[in-house]
Structure 1
Amino acid sequence: MLRAALFVLLAAFTRTVLSQQISFNLPKKLITSQLSRFIQDLIATEHIPGLTLGLVHSDGQVEHGAWGRKDEDGSSTTVDTSFILASCSKAFLSASMGILMEDFAQGKNVTALPPHVNVFDWDTKVVDLLPEEWRLQDEWATKKVNIRDMLSHVSGIPRHDYSPVSTNSPHEILLNLRNLRPTYELREKWSYNNLMYISAAHLISVYSGIPYTDFVNKGIFIPLNMSSTTYSPAEAARDNDLTQSWTPTGRRIPTWFSDATRDLNAGPGGVISNAVDMTKWLNALLNKGVHKDTNTTVIPGSVLDAVTTSHAIVSGRGTSPHTSISGYGMGWSRVSYGGHEFVSHSGGIPGFSTMVGFLPADDLGIVVLANADAKHDAEIKLIMRIIRDAVGLDISDWEDVPSLTPKASLRLQKLAGPGLRTPIERFAGRYWDAGYGNLTLCAPKSTSPECREVLKTFSIFDDVTSEENRNTLYAAYPTMWSSHLRMTYVGPDDEDFVLSFTSLFPEGYGKDSAPFETSEEGEAEAEVKFVINLGVESGGYGVKVVAFCVMGGEEEQEGRKRLLRSAGAGYSILDVAEAVMTRVGDE
């Protein structure tokens, strides 16, 4: 009896010790009740309808959480709810490019390189791989841009996000690069460019022999068992797992990408996934590209090193004594705080804000997915809280996590005083640029059938005949990111306007039929300078509007000036502009 009792006590003691050892070896749980309350407060104060979170620990264990709603009926988000990843998709492209290079190195390729190309790697020139399609305005860049340059955003070409239309194919985007002005010399400055990722996806399609989306699915999604990850919005919505999406101010909008535009958006921003699948992706990244369960290499270690190593400087100084400079690899940014490196990428399109990152030395992976745009700052607050809890860093002054969806720097200010001296009708007309296509600017009193339709639509939002709007021009401008634009005089000279891209919803959307409009965060505004020739005109006004120039930011204008000076050329506004729309007729 005593022996039995001692045995029971010994067994209980052993279980206690073992449980303590096991508990000691387990990573600290990060999704706690305290973090959950923090997130609930965050989504309430930041007006985020729904958010999901995935975490990966050093031993491969994962945590998932979901808060808020995924549709306007109030259905809760779950860890299986899918979101469009936006620019967090770029990491899948750079990894796929490396996998394709590895296929060629091992003789697994199904297509052949051009006869004069012996090696396909990060240093291979794009013109050698796509000789009939690749051409830039800068002849030197045409010859010298390599794969690494494309994917690390140092081609010298600024964003030009409003040049593509949704009906373009990747091939057409690639051909249009020759019509878009550069801002910097090759490798002079980091300059974010989605068009390069569209072109790179096309290159992968050409040399893999299959569509880019199929190559990623075969090379990454299937090997990592990312069974809910896709490039098809229709497929993601089939099981009611794709979240609905909202503007920053809470208006529901349609899913921004469709299956019809899938190929165009796939490279720079088209992956659709959830928190569960993204922790599988992060697990592989933290395990040097190896699938933890099958022990198979999905992303070769050399590829992972290449894409996460910084090749360009985004910010040359940290924001605090504890913060490093920030750099960009290929589809990944890199910064450190207090010696802890953070490799990450943000994503933002209308209706979605995303962030994926990992601390390689601390073996911690984080994915945050939100179903409204312009919520990057809130996601950073959450990530900083998680890192603080995980590694014990006081990161209250960490502000240098790169945002790759910059806010517009212009603010529309209509000037008081004498106002526009040239009648606004003189600016109305048809304009054209090789890179941007056709555009018809309509004055408030324009009478052409096209302008009557444009003004009818805008009249739902503005009193286009009011004194306040008498010096505003309007246009339909359907691109990947907009449906219309306004151009408003700001002075002091007659040439000075501000262009604002917008998407109009005259009948509302979803259950709310009230009209509204929304703009993409980042590049939605631009300074415009009209070119006016003085002279005797038949109307007696003595002026003729011949073009308008979209100027780009101050840094970009200075970059253009340096390019022209280095070529020994003088310059005018026409030369410094990012794009020049030439007048080709009346409205």
Structure 2
Amino acid sequence: MDYLNSQEFSAHVEAIQEKWHIPGIAIAVVQGGETSSKGFGKAKLNPPKPCTPDTIFDIASVSKNLTAASVAVLIDDDEKYPDVQWDATMSSLLPDDFVMTGEGYTENVTVEDILSHRTGLPTHDSTYLGIRSERPDNARSVTRNLRNLEVAEPIRSKWMYCNLMFTAATHLVQKKTGQSFEEFIHTHFFKPLDMSSTNLQPNAAKAAGLADRIAGSYIWEEKKAQYKEIQILQTPEDQGAGSILSSVNDYIKYVKAILNREGPFTEAVYKGLIKPRIVTNPDDDDLDPFTSWTMYAAGFETYFYRGHLVVQHDGSINGFGSTLFFMPQFDFGGVVFGNSGSATSPANFLGRELMDAALKIPLAERVNWDEVYSAKTAKWEQENEDEGPKVKKALWPEYDGKAQEQTMPLSSYTGKFFNAGYHKMIVQVKDNQLFIDASDRCMGFYIKFEHLCDQTKFVALLIDCEDDEFEEPLAAEFEFEGGRAVRMGIKMDPDLEDYIWFDRIE
């Protein structure tokens, strides 16, 4: 694509990198079977290393369509896996492992339900135990923990993003094939499609001799006006939801195979992956220009842009942002990867700009996508900057901007608390404040408690372990018996009405 390699586009991407704080961006597109790619900026900052189309990024949730494709391959093989079907219940396929709370969920949640985020289970992201834990999770333990997690909505009634279910999907693949998920995707996707730079987990990429090509992972610290490099960790506990590392030159082969129905992408696999199953944003009153509401398919989102079908998925984790998209009617698609946590929105709107170029939209009629997404970001920040007072007001309707004095000794709150789904939390005192270290989670965090009223009600300030400028206020309460806290409740999931309750165990 000429536009990708134009001086105008290069200057535009460089300006976006500076504005959105992204050291490196790599882009690849395919149209009519021909591919083109380019890197911009830096893959690493110290020492400086240029970003190229062969730079390797963690693609985060873009990995989900590969998980869905893996299950679709099993469904397509009636001879080996006749019981694996889109409408097969997960409990019939994994009878000992797949159990959910609530009446009817275990018996009725299907394969396509878990791959389209319509099981009724909310995120529950804080339940994953990572490699810093005493007992890290794996795909089977994550699946078996579903029985300990509260559902929020009836099945198929509401789209709620749930990483856990994609990890459960990889357990299904492993159980049915007798292969590890890593072996399966190498055998069925990476090797047939000559994706020699794509791996599951960073250690696998390093073992393949690709360590020098892995991009640095960065967070922009606004208060210090500088980049912070963070470690890329092994995350076997969330395989299937993320954890794929690839370059744009490699992953565009995957997009090309989908468009051309090559390799494992038969017509049946393709149709199963892009079939719309649930609306993701039915209440959105601020749709993007020329864009329809979005449907979730299986590891892909679908929508119409300027009247044409787009299939897409974004990815975002600390240090990386990505998007994959294609327009079947135009035999056109692309991938955009960046090595900053703020790269997801720019990756998304750069994809839109490439779509406009492929559609040959006159320059005067093209949308200023940077402006659109900047406005969306500003609106979100404005809506969330008063979240602390909202939480306090919800906890204590009489809140007038001033908290009550805390008189109970901090030692009366401390101890070990347990919830079957969320595991152990240790409340301790640090810097004269109640504190929890939950860095053992996949998405590690700390909690600092700020007393609000009644000696029982607190604001639990959740702080990202890697990005300490990210703070999320949550409602929290303690229950006492005999002058000692015996239960702790934290509003860990916004889709649940109640707290996640932890009982004292020590």
Q: Please state which band the TM-score falls in when normalised by the shorter chain.
A: 0.7 to 0.9
Show the counterpart of 1:452.
Answer: none
2:462 is matched with which residue: 491, 497, 500? Answer: 500
Show the counterpart of 1:532.
Answer: 479
One-letter amino acid of the counterpart of residue 489, structure 1: H
Higher gyration radius (CA)? 1
Deviates more, 1:352-361 or 1:232-241: 232-241
Show the counterpart of 1:374.
Answer: 342
1:254 is matched with which residue: 220, 223, 231? Answer: 231
**C-alpha distance in structure 2 between counterparts of 1:241 and 1:492, whole Å:** 55
Offset at residue 93 of structure 1 (A): 0.8
Answer yes or no: is the 8 Å Cα contact 1:156–1:187 preserved in 2: yes
Show the counterpart of 2:397.
Answer: none
Query: What do residues 119-159 of structure 1 show as CA deviations (whole Å, max 9, x unaligned)?
Result: 32100111111111111112301000110001101111111
**C-alpha distance in structure 1 between counterparts of 2:255 and 2:313, whole Å:** 12
Secondary structure (helix, strand or coil) at the match of 1:285 reads helix
**C-alpha distance in structure 2 between counterparts of 1:69 and 1:477, whole Å:** 29
Show the counterpart of 2:21.
Answer: 47
1:170 is matched with which residue: 139, 146, 149? Answer: 139
One-letter amino acid of the counterpart of residue 422, structure 2: Y
Offset at residue 396 of structure 1 (A): 4.0
Query: What do residues 522-559 of structure 1 show as CA deviations (whole Å, max 9, x unaligned)?
Result: xx7352331434x7x4xxxxx543322222455532xx
One-letter amino acid of the counterpart of residue 206, structure 1: K
Show the counterpart of 1:473.
Answer: 435
**C-alpha distance in structure 2 between counterparts of 1:277 and 1:483, whole Å:** 33
Query: What do residues 155-179 of structure 1 show as CA deviations (whole Å, max 9, x unaligned)?
Result: 1111111112121121111111111
Offset at residue 334 of structure 1 (A): 1.4
Please give the TM-score of this superposition, normalised by the length of structure 2.
0.86
**C-alpha distance in structure 2 between counterparts of 1:475 and 1:190, whole Å:** 31
TM-align CA RMSD: 2.7
Offset at residue 380 of structure 1 (A): 2.7
One-letter amino acid of the counterpart of residue 246, structure 2: S
**C-alpha distance in structure 1 between counterparts of 2:368 and 2:416, whole Å:** 52
**C-alpha distance in structure 2 between counterparts of 1:554 and 1:211, whole Å:** 34
**C-alpha distance in structure 1 between counterparts of 2:24 and 2:51, whole Å:** 6
Change in CA separation of 1:547 and 1:374 when aligned onto 2, cut-off 3 Å: farther
Tell me whether 1:83 sits opposite 2:29 in the alignment: no
**C-alpha distance in structure 1 between counterparts of 2:52 and 2:366, whole Å:** 31
Show the counterpart of 1:284.
Answer: 257
Answer yes or no: is the 8 Å Cα contact 2:123–2:493 preserved in 1: no
Offset at residue 399 of structure 1 (A): 6.2
Change in CA separation of 1:417 and 1:147 when aligned onto 2, cut-off 3 Å: closer
**C-alpha distance in structure 1 between counterparts of 2:495 and 2:428, whole Å:** 31
Show the counterpart of 2:358.
Answer: 390
Structure showing greater relative contact order (alpha-carbon pairs closer than 8 Å, 6 or more residues apart): 2
**C-alpha distance in structure 2 between counterparts of 1:493 and 1:375, whole Å:** 42
Change in CA separation of 1:70 and 1:554 when aligned onto 2, cut-off 3 Å: closer
Show the counterpart of 2:265.
Answer: 299
Query: What do residues 233-270 of structure 1 show as CA deviations (whole Å, max 9, x unaligned)?
Result: 134232311112111331011113x2xx44x3321102
One-letter amino acid of the counterpart of residue 220, structure 1: F
2:415 is matched with which residue: 429, 436, 442? Answer: 429
Q: Which runs of 5+ in 1 are unaligned?
A: 1-26, 291-296, 444-454, 456-463, 504-516, 538-542, 558-575
Offset at residue 348 of structure 1 (A): 1.2
Change in CA separation of 1:498 and 1:40 when aligned onto 2, cut-off 3 Å: same
Show the counterpart of 1:19.
Answer: none
Offset at residue 330 of structure 1 (A): 0.9
**C-alpha distance in structure 1 between counterparts of 2:489 and 2:175, whole Å:** 36
- Equivalent residues in 2 for 1:165-314 (5 A)? 165-166=129-130, 167-237=136-206, 238-239=209-210, 240-249=212-221, 250-256=227-233, 258=234, 261-262=235-236, 264-287=237-260, 289-290=261-262, 297-314=263-280
Secondary structure (helix, strand or coil) at the match of 1:30 reads helix
Q: What percent identity do the matched residue pairs reach?
A: 24
**C-alpha distance in structure 2 between counterparts of 1:344 and 1:66, whole Å:** 21
Deviates more, 1:85-94 or 1:307-316: 307-316
**C-alpha distance in structure 2 between counterparts of 1:439 and 1:582, whole Å:** 10
**C-alpha distance in structure 2 between counterparts of 1:153 and 1:519, whole Å:** 29
- Equivalent residues in 2 for 1:561-572 (5 A)? none
Tell me whether 1:547 sits opposite 2:487 in the alignment: yes
Show the counterpart of 1:569.
Answer: none
1:487 is matched with which residue: 446, 449, 459? Answer: 449
Secondary structure (helix, strand or coil) at the match of 1:188 reads coil
Answer yes or no: is the 8 Å Cα contact 2:437–2:446 preserved in 1: yes
**C-alpha distance in structure 1 between counterparts of 2:202 and 2:493, whole Å:** 34
Change in CA separation of 1:338 and 1:318 when aligned onto 2, cut-off 3 Å: farther
Answer yes or no: is the 8 Å Cα contact 1:30–1:389 preserved in 2: no
Tell me whether 1:36 sits opposite 2:5 in the alignment: no
**C-alpha distance in structure 1 between counterparts of 2:27 and 2:453, whole Å:** 47
Answer yes or no: is the 8 Å Cα contact 1:432–1:584 preserved in 2: yes
- Equivalent residues in 2 for 1:330-341 (5 A)? 330-341=298-309
Show the counterpart of 1:69.
Answer: 42
One-letter amino acid of the counterpart of residue 347, structure 1: G
Show the counterpart of 2:398.
Answer: none
One-letter amino acid of the counterpart of residue 65, structure 1: K
Answer yes or no: is the 8 Å Cα contact 1:153–1:192 preserved in 2: yes
Secondary structure (helix, strand or coil) at the match of 1:358 reads strand
Answer yes or no: is the 8 Å Cα contact 2:101–2:148 preserved in 1: yes
Query: What do residues 199-246 of structure 1 show as CA deviations (whole Å, max 9, x unaligned)?
Result: 110110111121111111111111111111111413423231111211
Answer yes or no: is the 8 Å Cα contact 2:117–2:160 preserved in 1: yes
Change in CA separation of 1:70 and 1:417 when aligned onto 2, cut-off 3 Å: same
**C-alpha distance in structure 1 between counterparts of 2:250 and 2:454, whole Å:** 54
**C-alpha distance in structure 2 between counterparts of 1:180 and 1:209, whole Å:** 28
Query: What do residues 38-72 of structure 1 show as CA deviations (whole Å, max 9, x unaligned)?
Result: 01111112111111011111x11111110111222
Offset at residue 95 of structure 1 (A): 0.8
1:518 is matched with which residue: 463, 467, 491? Answer: 467
Secondary structure (helix, strand or coil) at the match of 1:89 reads helix
Change in CA separation of 1:412 and 1:426 when aligned onto 2, cut-off 3 Å: farther
One-letter amino acid of the counterpart of residue 425, structure 1: S
Structure showing the higher strand proportion among its residues: 2
Deviates more, 1:188-197 or 1:264-273: 264-273
Tell me whether 1:556 sits opposite 2:496 in the alignment: yes
**C-alpha distance in structure 1 between counterparts of 2:251 and 2:109, whole Å:** 32
Answer yes or no: is the 8 Å Cα contact 1:136–1:177 preserved in 2: yes
**C-alpha distance in structure 2 between counterparts of 1:412 and 1:498, whole Å:** 10
